[in-house]
Amino acid sequence: MAGTAVLGRLIWQFGTLAELVQETPKVASLILDVPGWTGHLAGQHVDVRLTADDGYQAERSYSIASPPEDSRLAITVERLDDGEVSPYLVGELRKGDKLELRGPIGGYFVWRGDDERPVLLVAGGSGVVPLMAMIRHRAANHLKTPTRLLYSSRSLDDVIYRAELERLASAGDGLSVAHTLTRMQTPGWSGYARRIDSAMLAEVAWPKAQMPIVYVCGPTPMVENVASLLVDMGYDPASVKTERFGATGG
Amino acid sequence: MSFISRGFRGKRRDTASSSRLPPGQYLVNDFPVLSAGPTPRVPQAEWSFVIEGEIDKPRSWSWDEFRKLPTEQVTKDIHCVTKWSKFDTGWTGVSVDTLLEGVDTAAEYVVEFSYGGYTTNLPLEDVTGGKAWVAFEFDGQPLHPEHGGPARMLVPHLYFWKSAKWVRGLRLVNEDQPGFWEQNGYNNYGDPWREQRYWGD
């Protein structure tokens, strides 16, 4: 139980960039070798610290994208043009470079996969990252937990993990993925083409009688809206877990 | 510190800002929202604030009663454990000293508890002596529900998760009782100047 768990100090440790995967024009996954990584839960994040040659430092948090089962640790980072850390991680960092990090952090926005309840995942933009760790954890353990992902992106080109999500959703093991594109639709697009609203949630979300557990991650207005709509639909507020990604500074 | 992130230069602040930024923090101009679940909507007519626990007679205020208490306007820097800091935030609220006036208690700790079930714990001495407020206005406007309205705690010398949103009361306790984030990996005390973010910091 969280309240009784004993955890030592989270020490700063080094990861080495083993692979860089460009997910979309602005988003990349950093696959890191982290010797001595003690493991994590799907949904947790890490702190990353950069140090300039005069000792100046900057820290940010990033969600872990890899499932606990992977030998390497992956974070997926969106490059913010006016950011301080993300343009370094997506643009400057090269294979073989070292990156200082500590974690895992956060004991609430996690999915262990030991729960029978159906899962509803709602993502906005790069808010999909911690939810992807849950989906990958589910796949790695061949779990059949009924799981639905509703994923809002600006355009098809902005959809992170598109091919992998398509492959996992076609496995027929109880995962379904619904996309909505809010700004630009590709000709022939047959998915949703608007911001998430109550009608969309009524179609995608599990009936409340099934006692689903919900994870919502994205920019604040989207998270606020989705969480409120779910409560209006009769979802127990305690079953709706939310996480925001920073809209600033990153 | 011998490690250098190859090619990292960073965006430096002027020295005046830097001296006001605790380690690991960066400055923002907007007001990010952090919460673990849906935003509770609490009408003022249904709102009340209580002080309970190790106290002879619990105290309780309705919204109207609460708003008749003397208020203070304070300007404070705030620091969120997710690393953003915001300077010179303006609040109107009732000092916890006012709420506890005349209370005789042996309690050494306090639990802030909220509509929606959130809790956070701290030593009683961290909410007394002009260090904490129950705030109901931000920048002269009623506090928006996303930021904790109708009223939230303001304990600006600790990381901002110690300033409970949608606060419903204070429980005076003899023994420290870790709250929501304190049970989920975050530091029991949360001093930003000592960078006490997580367990063991």
* Residue at B170 is within a domain: yes
Nearest residue of chain B to residue A108 (CA atoms): B184
Higher-pLDDT residue of A3, A38 = A38
Q: Which residues of B touch A87 (CB under 8 A)?
A: none
**Domain ranges across chain A:** 13-105, 119-244
Q: The pTM is what?
A: 0.95
Chain A residues closer than 8 Å to B184 by CB = 2, 106-108
Name the closest residue on chain B to residue A240, using Cα atoms. Answer: B37
Output the average pLDDT for chain A.
Answer: 93
**Has residue A249 got a pLDDT over 80?**
no
Q: What is the tens place of the pLDDT at every residue in B157-187?
A: 999 999 999 999 999 999 999 999 999 999 9
Distance between A227 CA and the closest CA of chain B, angstroms = 5
Instruction: Please give the average per-residue pLDDT across B132-161, as a whole number.
Output: 97
Q: What is the pLDDT of residues A127-152, one digit of tens each?
A: 999 999 999 999 999 999 999 999 99
Interval A52-105: pLDDT, tens:
999 999 999 999 999 999 999 999 999 998 899 999 999 999 999 999 999 999
**Percent of chain A whose pLDDT exceeds 70:** 95
- Find out whether B176 and B121 touch, Cβ atoms under 8 Å: yes
| Residue B106 included in any domain | yes
Query: What pLDDT score does B18 carry?
Result: 82
Query: Which residue reads 């996309």 in tokens?
Result: A179
Residue of A nearest to B186 (CA): A106
Residue B161, domain member (yes or no): yes
Q: What kind of architecture, by CATH, is found in domain A119-244?
A: 3-Layer(aba) Sandwich (3.40)
Query: CB neighbours of A31 closer than 8 A, spacing ≥ 6?
Result: A17, A18, A19, A20, A21, A66, A72, A73, A74
Mind telling me how many Å the CA of B120 is from chain A's nearest CA? 13
Given this model, what pLDDT does residue A247 score?
41
Domain that holds residue B186: 46-194
* Mean pLDDT of all residues belonging to chain B: 95
Domain at A13-105: CATH architecture: Beta Barrel (2.40)
Structural domain contains residue B138: yes
Select from A9, A220, A227 the Cβ nearest to the Cβ of B32.
A220
ipTM of the complex: 0.93
CATH number at residue B52: 3.90.420.10
Chain A residues whose CB is inside 8 A of the B9 CB are: 52
What SS3 state is found at A66?
coil
Number of domains in chain B: 1
d(CA A187, nearest CA chain B) in Å: 36
Q: Which pLDDT belongs to residue B134?
A: 98
Q: In terms of C-beta density within 10 A (0-12 exposed, 13-18 middle, 19 or more buried), how is residue B77 classed?
A: middle
Least confident of A7-16, A25-34, A178-187: A7-16
B89 contacts B76 by C-beta, under 8 angstroms: yes
Residues 79-118 of A with CB under 8 A from B: 84, 88, 92-93, 97-100, 105-109
Q: Tell me: the pLDDT tens digits for B74-128?
A: 999 999 999 999 999 999 999 999 999 999 999 999 999 999 999 999 999 999 9
